[in-house]
Amino acid sequence: MLNEQGTSLECIDDLSHMVANLFKHEYAEDPLFNTFITACGQVSKKLKQTILACLAPPKVSTKARFMNLHRLVEWADKLLKHVPQNQAEDAPMLAKLRASLDQLPECEPFIKRFLRDAKSMLACQKILKQEGLNLATYAQCQKLIEVMPASSSIRIGFTDWAKSQLEIANRLGLNQTGLPISTDVLESLFGVGKRLGMGQVKDADRIAFHLPALCGTLTKQDAQDVVDITVAKHKEVIGCVDSLSKQRRDVLPNPGSLETLANNPGRRHLVLIPDTESWSEPPAQSISVSDLPAISAKFPNAPLSDFGTFCFSSLKKLFDALPLGGGWLQGAKSWGKT
């Protein structure tokens, strides 16, 4: 959207998602992968609600399986170590465990190879998320991935990603300080926003209203400001924005009312990315909730469009608290303005 407006910006690829995609490309078509996933499910069924329930596998989301698949593989590796290969007679608990393993022992080559790659990538992620990507941390990661074969698609893909991100760091002047290459902080913030007070319907507008309240350091005055907000003022700010819950109540039970969704002249959404024409420098001080009506009035053609500046001002406090302070903030600032 910003590129269409003629705004140039740097696109930084998130580290965690990039690594997950590399593992998906490398292992999703592995003949033993589906066998391993199926075996884990069978083992889980056989162990739960038994005396061996403490050995059941951890839950891994199927929507983002390769983000956390290493947890499942690590579990399988530990579990198989409880089962000796050559033993004449098993004790009762060991016999029960062995009978519950399904095809898991046949997946041991897959487990060993996956862990070899996962351990080095997890170590790289720990370094890069704490210190950022620069020439020094890149050199550390190169040593860690030497355990992988030179032909490994994960090793090649990670090296290509790091080189491209170092070029961005150089253009932003962060090749020595460290380029922030993880969205974990922002994802955590939005995750909390989705859980608090949203109900079953995940309303993006209402989530956006919650986010600034979760950022920065709160004071007693902030609490008092919230108490002093009247119902009328609340409606003045919130009432101008569509509520999915209200639309659901108005439209779902009433056939023939669909067109009201498109024909509502007062329909407005919260805009977190302001129009380039209305960009301004972030305010020196945080804006309180009571200032929102004034912000909305300042930009009548872009409802609450400067709210993005407000969110960035609050997010700035989060980045200030991170290691390398200013270096991280400089990278975040270029993101915030775009």
* CA-closest candidate to residue 133, choices 13, 8, 308, 7: 13
Worst-scoring range by mean pLDDT, 166-170, 177-181, 270-274, 323-327?
323-327
Segments in the chain forming alpha helices (H): 15-27, 31-47, 65-80, 92-99, 108-131, 135-144, 153-172, 184-195, 204-210, 220-228, 231-238, 244-251, 260-263, 292-298, 307-320, 325-337
SS3 category, 266: coil
* CA-closest candidate to residue 271, choices 2, 4, 6: 2
Q: Give the contacts of 336 (CB within 8 A, at least 6 positions apart).
A: 282, 308, 312, 315, 316
Percentage of the chain surpassing pLDDT 90? Answer: 41
- pLDDT, greater one: 288 or 122: 122
State the sign of the Cα–Cα–Cα–Cα dihedral 167, 173, 179, 185. negative
Statement: residue 209 has pLDDT above 90: no
- How many CA atoms lie within 13 Å of 102's alpha carbon, on the beta-carbon side? 16
Sorting pLDDT into bands at 50, 70 and 90, what band is 186? confident
Statement: residue 139 has pLDDT above 90: yes
Cα–Cα separations (whole angstroms), residue 193 to 179, 187, 210, 310, 313: 26, 10, 6, 16, 17
Backbone φ and ψ of 156, nearest 5° = -65, -45
Sorting pLDDT into bands at 50, 70 and 90, what band is 110? very high
- pLDDT, greater one: 278 or 175: 175
* Geometric angle at alpha carbon 233, from 227 and 238, rounded to 5°: 105
* Tens of pLDDT, residues 118-132: 999 999 999 999 999
The predicted model gives 37-53 an average pLDDT of 94
Statement: residue 298 has pLDDT above 80: no
Statement: residue 25 has pLDDT above 80: yes
- pLDDT, greater one: 175 or 146: 146
**Which span out of 68-72, 189-193, 251-255, 317-321 was modeled with the highest average pLDDT?**
68-72
Sorting pLDDT into bands at 50, 70 and 90, what band is 22? very high
Statement: residue 134 has pLDDT above 70: yes
Cβ-contact 96, 289 below 8 angstroms: no
> For all residues of the chain together, what is the average pLDDT?
78
Statement: residue 141 has pLDDT above 50: yes
Percentage of the chain surpassing pLDDT 70? Answer: 72
Statement: residue 308 has pLDDT above 90: no
Sorting pLDDT into bands at 50, 70 and 90, what band is 167? very high
Question: What confidence score (pLDDT) does residue 76 get?
Answer: 96
Sorting pLDDT into bands at 50, 70 and 90, what band is 259? confident
The predicted model gives 271-299 an average pLDDT of 49
Statement: residue 316 has pLDDT above 60: no
Question: What confidence score (pLDDT) does residue 150 get?
Answer: 95
- pLDDT, greater one: 2 or 47: 47
* CA-closest candidate to residue 69, choices 11, 19, 31, 143: 19
Sorting pLDDT into bands at 50, 70 and 90, what band is 250? confident
The predicted model gives 185-193 an average pLDDT of 81
